[in-house]
Amino acid sequence: MMKRRSFLKHLGLAVPLASAGKALAGQQPDITFRYPNINTLEDVKTIEGETLVRIKYTSKNKKAPTLNTGQISIENAELIAMTTHDFESADDLFDPTDRSYRIVADVNHADIVMLRLRRVSEQTSIRINNNEQEITFRLTDILEKGYLQFEQPGTQIDVNFLLDKEIGAIDLSQLGITANPDDFTFHVFADPQGGDPEHPANHPTRMKIHNAFIEDSIILANALPERPLFTLILGDIVDSQGEAENFRIMHDFLSRLDSPVFYELGNHESRYAATFEPGYDMEALQNYFNAQIKMNGMEKILYSFNVGKWHFVVWPDPLRAFFWDNHPHYFEWLARDLERHKDRPTFVFQHVPVHPIGISPFQGYLDFTSIRKKFVDIVTRHGNVKYVLSGHIHIPVKSSLKTAHNIRGTNFITLPAAGYRPRGFGEQDYFGGPTQGIAIVRIESENATVTFKTVMEEELTYPDPLPELDLERYNLWFNEKWQIEAKPAIRNGNFSKGLQEWSPEYIYQEDDNPSVICTSRSIDGRNALYLYNRIRGYQAPGQDRLPQTINRISQAVQVQTGTTPVLYFKVKLDRDHCDLQGYCGGYLWIEGYEGSFRQCNLVYSIGMAFSNPIDKGTKKIHEIHHFDLPAGFDWQQVSINIKDDFNTSELERDFDDLNIDRLVFTLGVWTLNEGTSQPFAFYSTDFRLDQRSTDVVDKSTIQGKPLRPKPKDKIWWRGKHIPFIHLAGEHRYHLETTKKTLFEKK
């Protein structure tokens, strides 16, 4: 018998829910929190009296996805619902009538089935017939062991309870808020991200800068004439990885606020390596729970409450591996909570934005595409969510306004930080001073006004409604590349119809002299795609700039079985805007998909190659193969034998065995966005895919000369030259050095 896992032990809470006012918050004792003890099936039940069981399917095959077909049966319990999470429409099917399924799983992404049960007992059992192999277990088996794990050929099936002790509606009267007015004000602090300058995990200069602005934001909030009903800290309360010492420092700061203070879970409140498994493991959030309880007496990370006519939901965003795999019931709780309050105007608070921002690396620094889509579908379902406020980006004030959008009737705003210095969006802000500050939300009956006020006391009020996001143009934001409609042939390959048939990324544009251009142009008597990138302007000291890699467009084409696809196109560099010695370049990226699974990754680059253009939202199974594309300043003809290049690169797999049903072609440019301008720009046109029924012996060429693998010294990645570090709050990437920094510990 396996020993019960330690995270199910319960040591009890040191304090009950208590008044969260400034004085009492500062007097709360230190607390050691443990997730409540689970001894009986009664302990497993949710507040609605249901028992939630998660069944997780993962492939053990690193080279290919694994097909699972089967059926799930339940005995001696009432099945309320059986729902699926992360089922891809191209691969996965579920029939609720007979509880049968077809699941195509891979090693990096799990497919989840969640059971909602009532009237369970010690005799309740679940039978899974997967790939004609039967698995049977009782709920008491899960209770005894904490989780169950079953190994089958090519597949691993994990089973555990889903719990809700950290979820629920809260009564503000228990937190010292007794007034329930129709007119009131509340404050939002995004990304204070402070901590202990002496802690070895922290950069001392960075912490001193953040802490100074946090103090200024607190002084600003307390000096305002109207006392807020509450203050919400919108994630990244602390810097680094949720160390207890950082929470202690931030408690000392934030308990000075002249209002009750609530916390929202961000990506710096836990260890980067936290996985929240096996079983229902909340150990990684212990310091966060301690801090929340110490500040206000709450034991929640997902919670909601009512004030006046309004409803409020606080959504956690740890941005950690497998978190949403292990918490699919959070989405169902959110859907039910908003359904129950669909007649109330609502605010939703989340740390990581789900609307596009338009600078790198936030394609990979956000939740998966499927998570963004699921969240937006839920919060826009009833039309009652008026605002979704987020942080995470450390965005300047002007950029916050320019990227704020209305999606299906809901206003989505990313707020500037309260402590962290802004990232570089390439243009001067509206105001000359620091952008740190607080959001002030004024509620008058069923109307809300959101204003951001900087520590320099400059103000910006967001319009209502915000501009509508063009979901048709930016269809890749809520869809993965395998979801692009694949056509029989490349459409508009000569760009005579502008960018029609191509899917561009959402890119942040400066008002004047933009650093990023993605358009079609007429040149040398022909139409062509023009892609251009340079360093973003307004390099203000202290701004965190980050490489720019997402200026690109994509199109999908169906693959005919048994053919050899050969791509033809013309390319020409822009002589006036190409730094061939810089950390910048252009590229053609070819991906081959079997359903939702990317089986082929080929990158053909001009100049310096960016090592990993992969989007976080797309499944990665296999490595990228880089080829050199030595283009010049005159038009050059390129032919790419996709099959041959793949087979030349892969020793253990053959292109014909991949079952690829579509190819996605992406054209892009990138720049390190650091140091000198490092511009890169090229034209391309006359794209045509020839799918021949016989093998083609010709190699990939440019102007008749064969293409070669990309030299390793022409492939850049973060940390290639020096260990990736922060320097007083800024990222540093590309300069070689042997000098030790002051914060390196001896």
Residues 521 and 414 in one domain: no
Q: Exposed (0-12), middle (13-18) or buried (19+): which is 322, by Cβ within 10 Å?
A: middle
Q: In the chain, pLDDT over 70 holds for what percent of residues?
A: 91
For residue range 532-584, what is the model confidence (pLDDT) as tens digits?
Answer: 999 999 877 777 778 899 999 999 999 998 899 999 999 999 999 999 999 99
Mean pLDDT of 420-440: 92
Domain CATH for 501: 2.60.120.260
What is the structure's pLDDT at 719?
Answer: 66
- Count of C-beta atoms within a 10 Å radius of residue 27: 10
What is the structure's pLDDT at 75?
Answer: 97
Residues 156 and 210 in one domain: no
Whether residue 10 is contained in a domain is answered as no
Query: Among 288, 286, 284, 287, which residue's Cα sits nearest to residue 272?
Result: 284
Are the beta carbons of 97 and 145 closer than 8 angstroms? no
For residue range 247-258, what is the model confidence (pLDDT) as tens digits?
Answer: 999 999 999 999
For residue range 447-504, what is the model confidence (pLDDT) as tens digits?
Answer: 999 999 999 999 999 999 999 999 999 999 999 999 999 999 999 999 999 999 999 9
Q: For strands 609-610 and 715-716, give the pairing.
A: parallel
What is the structure's pLDDT at 25?
Answer: 41
Whether residue 727 is contained in a domain is answered as no
- Count of C-beta atoms within a 10 Å radius of residue 317: 28
Whether residue 739 is contained in a domain is answered as no
Residues 524 and 412 in one domain: no
For residue range 376-398, what is the model confidence (pLDDT) as tens digits?
Answer: 999 999 999 999 999 999 999 99
Dihedral angle sign, alpha carbons of residues 700, 705, 708, 713: negative
Residues 240 and 268 in one domain: yes
pLDDT bucket at 12, cuts 50 / 70 / 90: very low
What is the structure's pLDDT at 87?
Answer: 81
What is the structure's pLDDT at 616?
Answer: 55
**DSSP letters along 224-288, please?**
SSSPPS-EEE-S--BSTT--HHHHHHHHHHHTTSSS-EEE---TTSS-TT---TTTT--GGGHHH
Whether residue 168 is contained in a domain is answered as no
Please provide the distance, in angstroms rounded to a whole number, between the alpha carbons at the two ends of the chain.
Answer: 45
Residues 430 and 500 in one domain: no
For residue 64, the cross-strand partners are: none
What is the structure's pLDDT at 420?
Answer: 92
Residues 155 and 303 in one domain: no
Are the beta carbons of 653 and 557 closer than 8 angstroms? no
Q: Which of 85-94, 434-443, 686-695 has the highest mean pLDDT?
A: 434-443
For residue range 587-600, what is the model confidence (pLDDT) as tens digits?
Answer: 999 999 988 888 99
Whether residue 319 is contained in a domain is answered as yes
Say whether 334 sits in a helix, a strand or coil.
Answer: helix
Range of the domain at 52: 41-162
What is the structure's pLDDT at 9?
Answer: 29
What is the structure's pLDDT at 64?
Answer: 77
Residues 189 and 283 in one domain: yes
Residues 391 and 419 in one domain: yes
Mean pLDDT of 708-733: 75
Mean pLDDT of 157-165: 97
For residue range 652-708, what is the model confidence (pLDDT) as tens digits?
Answer: 899 999 999 999 999 999 999 888 899 999 999 999 999 988 777 789 999 999 999
What is the structure's pLDDT at 740?
Answer: 47
For residue range 172-187, what is the model confidence (pLDDT) as tens digits?
Answer: 988 878 877 899 999 9
**DSSP letters along 304-343, please?**
EEEETTEEEEEE-----TTTTTS-THHHHHHHHHHHHTTT
Helix (H) or strand (E) holding 405: strand 405-407
* Contact residues for 241 (Cβ-Cβ < 8 A; gap 6+): 201, 268, 270, 271, 272
Residues 252 and 153 in one domain: no
Domain CATH for 121: 2.60.40
Residues 627 and 681 in one domain: yes
Domain CATH for 370: 3.60.21.10
Q: Which of 446, 461, 476 delimits the end of a domain? A: 461
Whether residue 392 is contained in a domain is answered as yes
Are the beta carbons of 74 and 82 closer than 8 angstroms? no
Q: What is the dihedral of CA 367, 373, 379, 380, to 10 degrees?
A: 150
Count: domains in the chain: 3
For residue 326, the cross-strand partners are: none
Dihedral angle sign, alpha carbons of residues 608, 612, 616, 621: positive
pLDDT bucket at 725, cuts 50 / 70 / 90: low
Report helix angle 244-254 to 286-296, nearest 10: 20
pLDDT bucket at 35, cuts 50 / 70 / 90: confident
Residues 453 and 571 in one domain: no
Q: In the chain, pLDDT over 90 holds for what percent of residues?
A: 76
User: To the nearest whole number, what is the mean pLDDT of the chain?
Assistant: 90
Residue, of 704 and 35, whose pLDDT is higher:
704
Cis omega (within 30 of 0) on the bond before 361? yes
For residue 567, the cross-strand partners are: 640, 689
Whether residue 742 is contained in a domain is answered as no
Whether residue 216 is contained in a domain is answered as yes
pLDDT bucket at 10, cuts 50 / 70 / 90: very low
For residue range 496-530, what is the model confidence (pLDDT) as tens digits?
Answer: 999 999 999 999 999 999 999 999 999 999 999 99
Q: What is the pTM of this model?
A: 0.93
Residues 509 and 446 in one domain: no
> Is 637's pLDDT higher than 90?
yes
Query: Among 657, 623, 624, 628, which residue's Cα sits nearest to residue 643?
Result: 657
